[in-house]
C-alpha cells in the first residue's frame, strides 16, 4: 500500500473518531480523575494512547516539550501543567479536526491552571517532517502514534534533529514480538488499530539508535492483544541525545555491580561483574545516564568487587525444579546484550523462552525494570516440573 494512501486512511480514521467519539485502538492508563480537574470532557473523550508519557515524572518545570501526534491535546495539557507557566509545549498533529479541538481548549486549560496565557501551541505537521527548529526541545513525548507512521526511521531522525544536546524522549507505543506479515501490513483498518505499522521491539529500538539516541531503556510495558500468533504489547521507552561535550572528569574506569553477570553497552563495550573496565569520555557520558549509572561504580583507579562486597548485586536462581508456562522475556535496554547467573544470554528486543524459575529472577528488583514479559501460551499450561541445568539445556 502506498505511503500516501496509508497516511490518508489513518488521518480519515482519526478525524472520524474525533467527530463521533469512537473508541480507538490502544490500552490507556490515564488518571482521569486528576485530569478532569483541569482538562475539558471534550478532550478526554477522544484521547487515545497506550501509556502516559507526560505523567511519569519525566517532565520538569520550565522545559520545552514536544508532543508528536498530539490529537485532542490531552498529553500536551498534562505537560503544560507540569512545565508550569515558564515552560513551553508544542503539539503537532496531521488531523485538522483534532487540531481544532485542541486549540479551542488550550485557553480553557490555561485558565483552569491559573496561567495568564496558554503556554501551548498546536502546529499542523507530520511526524516525519516536523515543523520544529533544530536543537530546541528538552523532552519529546508521543503516545501510540509513531507506529502509525509508514517511515519510522524518518520520525526517529526528526526526533533527534529537534532535541537539544542533553535532551531526551519518553514515548509510549505498540510493538510486536515478531515481524508483522504482509497481509496485515496491507490491511488499512489494522493501521488505525495500531497493528499493521507495529515494528518488533528490536527494530524499534534499532531505529532510535540509528538516529543517534543512546541510553534507551524501558519505563513500563503491558500486553495488549495477540492476532494470528503475533503478540502486540505496549512499551514506554526513554532515551537520550547525549551532550556534545564529554564531561571533565577524573573517572577512567567503570566496574559493573550487577545484577547481570555480563553486559554490553550501546557503544560495544563489554563489562564483567566486579572487574574494572577502562572507559573513554564518550563511554562515561553514556554510563552517567539513568538507569545505567545504578549498575556501575565509576572511579579514577581500577576498582574490583567480589561477592563479599556490599556493592556487588546478584539475583541467583532457586535450586529447585521449574515449570514451562509459555513465558518469553525481551530485554529492553539499556544494554544490547546481557547475561544472568543461570547462563541465559539476552539480546535486546529478542524474545527468549524462560521457565518459571527464571521468571522469578527477572521479576526481582534489579532485573524487572529492563524486561518486557509476554506469554505465548494460548491457554493455561500444565506439565510436570523439570530440572533445569545448563547441561540439560532446560533454559
Render 1-42 in DSSP notation, one character per residue: --HHHHHHHHHHHHHHHHHH----S------HHHHTTTS-HH
Is 322 within the bounds of a domain?
no
Q: Do 231 and 342 belong together in one domain?
A: no
Please indicate, yes or no, whether residues 227 and 308 belong to a single structural domain of this protein. Answer: no
* Residue 320 placed within a domain: no
Domain that holds residue 254: 247-314
101/224 same-domain check: yes
Using the Cα atoms of residue 22, residue 179, residue 290 and residue 295 in order, give the sign of their dihedral.
positive
Is residue 319 situated within a structural domain? no
CA distance 244 to 252: 19
Query: Is residue 178, in this structure, part of any structural domain at all?
Result: yes
240 with 214: CB under 8 angstroms?
yes
Domain stops at, among 240, 264, 291: 240
Residues 271 and 362 both lie in one domain: no
Identify the H or E element spanning 195: none
**Beta bridge partner(s), residue 253:** 278, 299
Q: Are 171 and 252 in a shared domain?
A: no
Is there a contact between 256 and 263 (Cβ–Cβ < 8 Å)?
yes
Is residue 213 in a domain? yes
> In this structure, are 166 and 90 located in the same domain?
yes
Cis bond before residue 334 (omega within 30° of 0): yes
Distance of alpha carbon 123 from alpha carbon 106, whole angstroms? 13
Specify the CATH number for the domain of residue 47: 3.40.50.150
255 and 334 assigned to the same domain: no
Instruction: Give burial (CB, 10 Å; 0-12/13-18/19+) of 4.
Output: exposed
Question: Is residue 55 helix, strand or coil?
Answer: helix
CATH code at 289?
A: 3.40.5
Q: Residue 132: CB partners within 8 Å, gap ≥ 6?
A: 66, 90, 92, 123, 125, 162
> Are 300 and 361 members of one domain?
no
Sheet with 214-227, edge to edge strand ranges: 120-124, 88-93, 64-68, 137-143, 163-176, 230-240, 214-227
Q: Which cell numbers in the block locate residue 257?
A: 555491580
135 and 224 inside one domain? yes
In a domain, 321, yes or no: no
In this structure, the answer to whether residues 111 and 198 fall within a common structural domain is: yes
The tens place of each residue's pLDDT in the chain, 395 residues long, gives 445 554 554 544 444 544 545 555 555 667 888 899 999 999 998 887 787 887 767 899 999 999 999 999 999 999 999 999 999 999 999 999 999 999 999 999 999 999 999 999 999 999 999 999 999 999 999 998 998 888 999 999 999 999 999 999 999 999 999 999 988 887 766 655 677 789 999 999 999 999 999 999 999 999 988 988 999 999 999 999 999 886 778 999 999 999 999 999 999 999 999 999 999 999 999 999 988 999 999 999 999 999 999 999 999 999 889 999 999 999 998 999 999 999 999 999 999 999 999 999 999 999 999 999 999 997 777 767 787 654 444 55
131 and 85 within one domain: yes
> Domain ends where: 314, 346, 361?
314
| Distance from C-alpha of 145 to C-alpha of 160, rounded to nearest angstrom | 17
Q: Which three cell numbers stand for residue 253?
A: 574506569
The neighbour count for residue 291, using CB atoms within 10 Å, is 15
Rounded to the nearest 10 degrees, the angle between the axes of helix 3-20 and helix 96-113 is 50
Structural domain tally of the chain? 3
In whole angstroms, what is the distance from residue 43 CA to residue 29 CA? 16
Residue closest to 217 by CA, chosen among 228, 230, 208, 226: 208
Q: How far apart are the first and last CA of the chain?
A: 41
Hey, what's the cell of 264?
A: 554490553
Domain boundary among 240, 265, 291: 240
Structural domain includes residue 279: yes
- Any idea what DSSP says for residue 219? E
Residues 14 and 74 in one domain: yes
Amino acid at each position: 500500500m502506498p505511503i500516501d494512501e496509508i497516511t490518508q486512511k489513518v488521518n480519515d480514521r482519526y478525524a472520524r473518531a474525533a467527530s463521533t467519539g469512537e473508541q480507538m485502538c490502544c490500552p490507556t492508563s490515564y488518571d482521569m480523575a486528576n485530569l478532569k480537574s483541569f482538562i475539558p470532557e471534550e478532550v478526554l473523550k477522544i484521547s487515545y494512547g497506550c501509556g502516559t508519557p507526560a505523567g511519569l515524572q519525566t517532565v520538569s518545570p520550565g522545559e520545552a516539550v514536544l508532543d508528536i501526534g498530539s490529537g485532542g491535546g490531552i498529553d500536551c495539557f498534562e505537560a503544560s501543567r507540569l512545565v508550569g507557566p515558564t515552560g513551553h509545549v508544542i503539539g503537532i498533529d496531521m488531523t485538522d479536526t483534532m487540531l481544532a479541538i485542541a486549540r479551542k481548549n488550550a485557553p480553557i486549560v490555561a485558565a483552569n491552571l491559573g496561567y495568564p496565557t496558554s503556554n501551548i501551541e498546536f502546529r499542523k505537521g507530520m511526524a516525519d517532517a516536523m515543523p520544529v527548529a533544530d536543537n530546541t526541545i528538552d523532552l519529546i513525548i508521543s503516545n501510540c502514534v509513531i507506529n502509525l507512521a509508514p517511515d519510522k526511521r524518518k520520525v526517529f531522525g526528526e526526533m533527534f534533529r529537534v532535541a537539544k544536546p542533553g535532551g531526551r524522549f519518553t514515548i509510549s507505543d505498540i510493538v510486536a514480538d515478531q515481524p508483522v506479515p504482509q497481509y496485515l501490513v496491507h490491511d488499512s483498518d489494522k493501521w488505525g488499530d495500531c497493528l499493521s505499522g507495529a515494528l518488533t521491539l528490536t527494530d524499534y529500538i534499532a531505529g532510535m539508535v540509528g538516529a543517534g539516541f543512546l541510553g534507551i531503556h524501558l519505563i513500563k510495558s503491558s500486553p495488549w492483544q495477540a492476532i494470528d500468533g503475533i503478540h502486540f504489547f505496549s512499551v514506554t521507552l526513554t532515551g537520550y541525545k547525549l551532550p556534545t561535550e564529554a564531561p571533565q572528569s577524573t573517572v577512567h574506569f567503570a566496574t559493573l555491580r550487577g545484577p547481570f553477570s555480563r553486559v554490553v553497552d550501546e557503544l560495544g563495550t563489554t563489562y564483567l561483574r566486579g572487574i574494572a573496565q577502562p572507559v573513554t569520555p564518550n563511554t562515561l557520558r553514556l554510563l552517567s545516564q539513568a538507569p545505567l549509572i545504578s549498575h556501575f561504580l565509576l572511579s579514577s583507579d581500577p576498582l574490583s568487587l567480589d561477592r563479599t562486597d556490599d556493592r556487588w548485586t546478584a539475583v541467583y536462581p532457586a535450586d529447585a525444579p521449574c515449570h514451562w508456562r509459555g513465558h518469553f522475556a525481551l530485554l529492553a535496554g539499556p544494554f544490547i546484550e546481557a547475561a544472568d547467573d543461570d547462563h541465559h544470554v539476552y539480546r535486546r528486543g529478542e524474545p527468549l523462552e524462560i521457565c518459571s524459575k527464571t521468571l522469578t529472577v527477572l521479576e526481582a528488583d534489579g532485573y524487572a525494570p529492563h524486561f518486557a514479559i509476554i506469554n505465548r501460551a494460548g491457554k493455561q499450561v500444565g506439565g510436570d516440573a523439570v530440572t533445569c541445568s545448563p547441561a540439560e539445556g532446560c533454559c
